[in-house]
Amino acid sequence: MRRVYDPPESGDGLRVLVDRLWPRGLAKEAARIDEWPKDITPSTELRRWFHSGEGSFEDFRGRYEAELDAPEAAELLDGLRESARKGPVTLLTASKAPERSHASVLAELLGH
């Protein structure tokens, strides 16, 4: 798990953007994104709720995990797990605090 603004590294393996919106000011060529599975990202409503400060990170985690149980998201998550079994997968986010974001929830669910 890394910030998408950090330069790519040789050991990144599969580079997966896990944000719903494209990061501001970042050229697509510079990001070197391999996959951008938007259906695995938090819904717009959940993202807005969390950023409004109404709930705790633990509340967010629970709501996000419930969203990941939806069939399309669950299928994408299974695909990422399979990719992680085959080699390195780097989850990329624009979040300033990746350790308290949806990316950390995904990383835990992938066993990173």
Summarised one tens digit per residue, pLDDT across range 47-96 is 999 989 888 999 999 999 999 999 999 999 999 999 999 999 999 999 99
Contact indicator for 91, 18 with CB cutoff of 8 Å: yes
Q: Domain spans of the chain?
A: 2-110
Average pLDDT, the chain: 94
The pLDDT > 90 percentage for the chain reads 88
